Amino acid sequence: MLVLGIESSCDETAAAVVANGEEILSNVVASQIAIHARYGGVVPELASREHLRKIEPVVNEALTRARVKIRDVDGVAVTEGPGLIGSLLVGLVYGKALARALSKPLVGVNHLEGHIHAVLLENKMGRRAGKVTEEAQLPAVTLVVSGGHTTLFLVKEVRPSANSQSVSLDYKRLGQTRDDAAGEAFDKVAKLLALGYPGGPVIDQLARYGDAQAVDFGRIKMKGNPLDFSFSGVKTAVLYRVRGTSLALEAEERRAWRSTRDNVTNDELRNHCSRATLDLIASFQSAVVQDLVERTLSAGEAARVDSVFVSGGVACNSLLRARFLEASRAQGVNALFPSPGLCSDNAAMIAAAGNCKLQAGQLADANLTAHAAFPLGE
């Protein structure tokens, strides 16, 4: 079964062709980073205009790279939410029109469901390539951690009958952020310190040169649900350590220097950061990562699962991956991540989730539309 996936929920226009939910034939992502970088964040109006420009060439490129004709595709999967409404509508309407014109089945996919399927897709590809021997085990606790989300789910498999070929996933929401998403906190701290956009990858690189113990942000305390998250406190703590100090002057100098340059390498940027700035970045990253690891593993323990999945753009973070692997091993659970290309927004994950829905017969009708807020699970 060949599924064409289309994703346009934020600032990436993406299309992919996935065979049988386990083999990526193509995975095309047109990033808009260069457009939004000067604003230090995604500008919704610019994002939807850019999606409009890119959607057709990106879908065509995905079909060409997969060496597939559109008539050979067995179904079209589109992201229906959550995300920026103008962005979502571009991909959704394009996919819907394509499916309608070619009389192909259409499925709507929740973006977060896509991130969860990225872990299963990576595992299936690894097994096909002989790189991984074990199948990803469900039920699993899954952390989806990105620029828009920080949510913990308990994911279970549902088979309509014991010998049924089609498998659906059931999602229970265990906790979520009450304010900033973790990736948003990375982006805002990077903006404050004039490190560029998106902030996650650059902080990940620079933090290697700082002392993560230098600033003690303390544990992030949560009243009520202990599996909820909050990152606005640590972000504000960084702001207070910068405002009115030499670090603020240094950030302004960096901003001025950056504005004269088209491209800045991480090494050049590091040379424009004092030790105190590098220490602050490393300590901030460590505090966020520690919180994500601890809450996810404690959710895993409470749910008595053998596996935790971690997906979304922040799951590219090298410290996060190392700490998850170390702590999960100590707890006797398996931690699984997609490879970086499947962690951040892409359409292969949407096609893989769509494959599952197509097999289960969960088809969309002509009323399918986009939703900016679109919770997954109860």
Binding site for ligand KG4 (CB under 6 A): 10, 146-148, 183, 186-187, 198-201, 204, 312-314, 316-317, 344-345
- State the Cα–Cα distance between residues 265 and 94, nearest whole angstrom: 37
Shortest distance, position 291 Cβ to Zn ion, whole Å: 20
CA distance 74 to 76: 7
* Closest to ligand KG4 by CB, 201 or 210: 201
Cβ closest to ligand KG4, residue 155 vs residue 185: 185
By the rule CB under 5 A, 80 interacts with Zn ion:
no
CB 63, min distance to Zn ion, A: 23
Q: What, of Zn ion, ligand KG4, none, does residue 200 touch, CB below 5 to 8 Å by kind?
A: ligand KG4
Residue 91's binding partner among ligand KG4, Zn ion, none (Cβ under 5 to 8 angstroms by kind) is: none
User: How many residues interact with Zn ion (rule CB under 5 A)?
Assistant: 2
Please state the closest distance from residue 155 (CB atom) to Zn ion, in A.
Answer: 16
Query: Nearer Cβ to Zn ion, position 279 or 345?
Result: 345
- Amino acid at position 151, single letter: T
* Amino acid at position 295, single letter: R
CB 260 within 8 A of CB 157: no
Q: How far is the CB of 165 from ligand KG4 (least distance, A)?
A: 31
* DSSP characters over 70-139: GGG--EEEEEEESS-HHHHHHHHHHHHHHHHHHT--EEEEEHHHHHHHHHHHHHHHHHHTTS--SPPPSS
Interacting partner of 147 out of ligand KG4, Zn ion, none (Cβ under 5 to 8 A depending on kind): ligand KG4
Three-state DSSP at 377 gives coil
Q: Round to whole Å and give the CA distance between 113 and 354.
A: 10
DSSP state of 375: -
Q: Does 345 engage in binding with Zn ion (CB under 5 A)? A: yes
Considering beta carbons, is residue 187 or 279 the nearer one to Zn ion? Answer: 187
Q: In the complex with ligand KG4, which residue's Cβ is closer, 156 or 258?
A: 258
What is the residue-wise DSSP string for 335-365? EE---HHHHSS-SHHHHHHHHHHHHTT----
Q: What is the DSSP string of 227-256?
A: T-B--HHHHHHHHHHHTTSHHHHHHHHHHH
- Name which of ligand KG4, Zn ion, none residue 186 binds, using a CB cut-off of 5 to 8 Å depending on partner kind: ligand KG4
The minimum distance between CB 146 and Zn ion, in angstroms, equals 4
Instruction: Collect contacts of 320-323 with beta carbons under 8 A, ≥24 apart.
Output: 320/145, 320/289, 320/292, 320/293, 323/289, 323/290, 323/293
Q: Which stretch binds Zn ion (CB under 5 A): 27-35, 84-92, 143-151, 212-220?
A: 143-151
| Cβ–Cβ under 8 Å, residues 135 and 127 | yes
CB of 154 to ligand KG4, least distance (A): 21
Q: How far is the CB of 302 from ligand KG4 (least distance, A)?
A: 26
Nearer to ligand KG4, 21 or 201 (CB): 201
Nearest approach in angstroms of CB 265 to ligand KG4 is 16
DSSP H/E element including 143: strand 140-145
Taking the least distance from each CB to ligand KG4, the nearer of 91 and 198 is 198
In the list Zn ion, ligand KG4, none, the entry touching 75 (Cβ below 5 to 8 angstroms by class) is none
277 makes contact, choosing from ligand KG4, Zn ion, none, with CB < 5 to 8 Å by partner type, with: none
Q: How far is the CB of 110 from ligand KG4 (least distance, A)?
A: 12
Q: Which does 316 bind (CB under 5 to 8 A by kind): ligand KG4, Zn ion, none?
A: ligand KG4
Packing angle, helices 232-242 and 246-259, rounded to 10: 90
Residue 146 is a binding residue for Zn ion (CB under 5 A): yes
292's CB contacts (< 8 A; 6+ apart) are 143, 145, 150, 182, 229, 314, 320
Q: Which two tokens stand for residue 229?
A: 């998250």
**Separation in Å, CA 360 to CA 113, 161, 167, 168, 365:** 15, 12, 7, 7, 15
d(CA 6, CA 332): 37
Closer CB to ligand KG4, 113 or 187, in the complex = 187
Give the residue with the Cβ less far from Zn ion, 7 or 228: 7
Q: Which residues bind Zn ion (CB under 5 A)?
A: 146, 345
